[in-house]
Amino acid sequence: MTAGANPTAANDGGSGGTSGDFWRTYGTSLVPGAYSIAALIAWWMTKNSPGVATLELGTAIGLAALAIALPVLGFKIPNRQDYFGGLALILIGLFALWASRDLPGMRGFAFGPGTAPRGFAIILGGLGVLVAAIGIFTTGPNVERFAIRGPALIVASTFVFAASIRPLGLVFASFVSIVVSAFATTEVRWLETIIWAAVLTLFCSLLFPWGLNLPLQLWPNGFNPMQLFR
Amino acid sequence: MDLVANLIHGFSVALSPINIGLCLVGALVGTLVGVLPGVGPVATIAMLLPITFGLPPVGALIMLAGIYYGAQYGGSTTSILVNIPGEASSVVTTLDGHQMARQGRAGPALAIAAIGSFFAGCVATVLVAALGAPLTVLALKFGPAEYFSLMVLGLVFAVVLAKGSIPKALAMIMLGLLLSMVGSDIETGQSRMAFDVPELSDGVGFVVVAMGVFGFAEIMRNLEMSQESRDVVNAKLTGLMPTLKDLKASAGAILRGTAIGSILGILPGGGAVIAAFAAYTFEKKMSKDPSRFGKGAIEGVAAPESANNAAAQTSFIPLLTLGIPPNAVMALMVGAMTIHGIVPGPQVMTKQPDLFWGMIASMWIGNAMLVIINLPLVGLWVRLLRVPYRMLFPAILIFCNIGNYSINNAPFDVSMTALFALLGYWLLKHDFEPAPMLLGYVLGPLMEENLRRAMLIARGDPMTFVQRPISAGLLALAVLLLVLAVLPMIRSKRNVVFVEGEN
């Protein structure tokens, strides 16, 4: 799903730089072009359900036509926020169609496991077409700038926590992930961060395993600094 | 008589020392988190859900309800003191509330918000108790077709009342429904869209979606604005209590706000938000001197605060009786109930009277507690608001991560939350409202199941939905609402295109 975010995120590659101009001019074609290729791949991989395959092929052709028509007609998208948003919805719908391609559909009048996901995916894709059309035919805001630092470091800190909680235990995992997350803002200060992370780690190590009685391991296996004082 | 007996039973459950304690802790923690700028009730509940998992179901739900009221009240506190609404339903409170605070009347503004909320809470509690039983009887007559149609109506309400574009809100519902399909099919057990990932065989965790899209994405958003200086009222809070004149001026506003809120809260969709707006507008129209509004009129605080609290409470009615969450907060409640093995719906009242009536009674207690704990603690909240965001957000983040991990002891869930945070951030940037998505996500499995059953009973004839009178009525209402909402939009969009063509 987040794959849909990337092409638009690249939109703000630079303000006024060449890459920014490039995206402003060709981004509205490149994105549906890329999605069209994704739809073609989905179509090629769908072997068991002809209906779904036809739909995927149709979407691929539609998206390709859009990608070609825009520069040919010299049309500038007036509402890029909805345009890219709608296209991403189409991509998500396509992804769901592809992901549920091998699930059996209707058997007589009984729903199969694939019926509802496929139905929702098709409606979502349809709404995506509608939202993108609104983006083409009405004026609206451009896509807001995507910040990189904040989201990237918050995700990184969460990943660090997920990766280290099992092998390293709560104390190390929280301390490191707090320090990483603190860098999500430019206002970060080293000393304050270290002290604050230590305080928070102590608080969490007391609150969660003891206060709330959750079964969390505090230290790595076979390591317990408390033994030093025994 | 039944009602009184039931309420007494409820109070006997809710007044047990443990449950009072849980309600108190819930209200306190809820306010504490709700006061943090930019953290609304949905994010608060999503963050605090894990701490209730170790509790017995009744206690857990009482605590969650306490968290909800606390968060709601915390939102009002920030609106008045900092001019940052903690959530959509207290946006209107900023208009007059913050003006009052600037004139040195933050105390009376906060007090009247608490008093209004308390009164509204009392009325709404009785209403929930009174309407619970008859609606439950009605709900037990519903078949799968009726249930499906009711859910469609609920979702349409959510779309119509949501702010912003209708196609986008509809798309968000579909995205939620689609997300809920991940995991194992209920009937055949076949794995759907799970890519043989064992952690996904049970579906994407509810907390994962809610915490990622609401909690984390909100932090990412707030980080972009962190440089902006916050306008915390620095004046010392003197004279907490409102004067007799204030009370007289706001009595009518509280009554009208309560009435408007109670009615709008039952309707699915962003009940509390609409209620606050409607009550404020109504009060302004009623007033002899409308120009006072926006300049610190106490009615402008009393009416929306009463309305949003009444609505927050009556929105429990569809959840407890029909099992259908009318808004995102109630969707979270469904998630919490499911985790405790309770299937929300009409059978809750008959099979678990302790839970049903205990929760209703605890609503009243929770409201009373807000008045008692919050007025003396205002000073503390003000101090908390001065803590810089660069220190707050790592704390919020680590609490979320630990809580999230502790649910299943699954690092996978924690990582998935980060991905959903990116999705949520993307949705914010493209102006998609995430609340309908959460609603769709919760209703998805229920809708599929009822649709399947209805179709099986009708031997595959989709006409069953329009041939059964109740179902047909509900669907007709849904279509009517949608048409009414879409028509003016198309007209205005056409105008836009037209204007452009001329240029």
- Tokens 């929306």 locate to B304
Domain count, chain B: 1
ipTM: 0.87
Q: With left for phi above 0 and alpha for psi between -120 and 50, is residue A44 left, alpha or beta?
A: alpha
Long-range CB contacts (within 8 A, 24+) of B293-298:
B293/B95, B293/B96, B294/B95, B294/B96, B294/B99, B295/B96, B295/B99, B296/B96, B296/B99, B296/B100, B296/B102, B296/B103, B296/B105, B297/B96, B298/B96, B298/B100, B298/B108, B298/B109, B298/B112, B298/B242, B298/B246, B298/B249, B298/B250, B298/B253
Q: With left for phi above 0 and alpha for psi between -120 and 50, is residue B196 left, alpha or beta?
A: left
Is there a contact between B251 and B243 (Cβ–Cβ < 8 Å)? no
B497 or B123: which leads in pLDDT:
B123
Query: Are the Cβ atoms of A185 and B456 closer than 8 angstroms?
Result: no
| A111 contacts in chain B (CB < 8 Å) | 187, 448, 451-452, 455-456
Percent of chain B with pLDDT over 70: 90
Is there a contact between B286 and B300 (Cβ–Cβ < 8 Å)? no
Partner-chain residue, chosen from B398, B406, B461, that has the shortest CB–CB distance to A177: B398
Using alpha carbons, select from B209, B281, B178, B118 the residue that is nearest to residue B435: B209
pLDDT digits (tens, 9 = 90+) for B228-255: 555 555 555 556 677 778 888 888 889 9
Which residue range is the domain that position B463 belongs to? 2-502
Query: Are the Cβ atoms of B397 and A113 closer than 8 angstroms?
Result: no
SS3 string, B366-393, reads HHHHHHHHHHHHHHHHHHHHCCCHHHHH
| A6 contacts in chain B (CB < 8 Å) | none
Is there a contact between B436 and B273 (Cβ–Cβ < 8 Å)? no
| Chain mean position to CA B175 | 20
Tens digit of each residue's pLDDT, chain A (230 residues): 334 444 444 444 334 445 667 777 788 888 899 999 999 998 888 887 888 888 999 999 999 999 898 888 888 888 888 999 999 999 999 999 888 888 887 777 778 888 889 999 999 999 999 999 998 888 888 888 888 888 999 999 999 999 999 888 889 999 999 999 999 888 888 898 999 999 999 988 888 777 777 778 888 877 777 676 66
Is there a contact between B32 and B384 (Cβ–Cβ < 8 Å)? yes
Query: Are the Cβ atoms of B459 and A165 closer than 8 angstroms?
Result: no
Q: Which residue of A has its CA nearest to B55?
A: A212
B389 or B257: which leads in pLDDT:
B257
pLDDT digits (tens, 9 = 90+) for B348-377: 777 888 888 888 888 888 888 887 877 777
- Token pair for residue B395? 């704390």
What is this structure's pTM?
0.81
| B402 contacts in chain A (CB < 8 Å) | 170, 174, 204, 208, 216
CA atoms within 13 A on the CB side of B363: 27
| A85 contacts in chain B (CB < 8 Å) | 168, 430-432
| A105 contacts in chain B (CB < 8 Å) | none
Query: Are the Cβ atoms of B455 and A150 closer than 8 angstroms?
Result: no
- Over residues B384-395, the mean pLDDT reads 81
CA atoms within 13 A on the CB side of B110: 34
* Rounded Cα distance, A112 and A119, in Å: 11
Partner-chain residue, chosen from A78, A138, A182, that has the shortest CB–CB distance to B390: A182
Torsions phi, psi of B429, nearest 5?
-65, -30
Query: Are the Cβ atoms of A144 and B429 closer than 8 angstroms?
Result: yes
| Chain mean position to CA B90 | 12
- Over residues B139-148, the mean pLDDT reads 82
Q: Give the CA angle between residues A166, A169, A175 to the nearest 5°.
A: 120
CA distances from B270 to B260, B436, B474 (A): 14, 9, 19
